[in-house]
Amino acid sequence: MNSAAAIRAAESADHAVRIASRRPRSESEPPGREWAQMDAATGEGIPAAVAGVDAVVHAASDPRWADAVDVNGM
């Protein structure tokens, strides 16, 4: 399941969705979704991005950096 499918599944089950990305919110992003800017590689913004959430779906990955970021926390 990719991130877009995970978002649609959560929204169709009436869950509030907060999207976290290192990129700023796009103008094409549908209204009603919370957006948090963060960087998984540096950790910047992660505490604010996950504050108050009940679950995290980690769908970001770059195979070149998977171990350094996802495992070691760079």
d(CA 68, CA 48): 22
CA distances from 72 to 3, 29, 43 (A): 22, 31, 12
d(CA 36, CA 45): 8
Sign of dihedral through CA atoms 47, 57, 19, 34? negative
* Domain ranges (residues) in the chain: 3-71
Range in 5-9, 56-60, 63-67 the model is least confident about = 63-67
Of 52, 46, 11, nearest to 29 (Cα)? 11
pTM of the model: 0.70
Segment 8-55, tens digit of pLDDT: 999 999 999 999 998 999 888 888 789 999 988 788 999 999 999 999
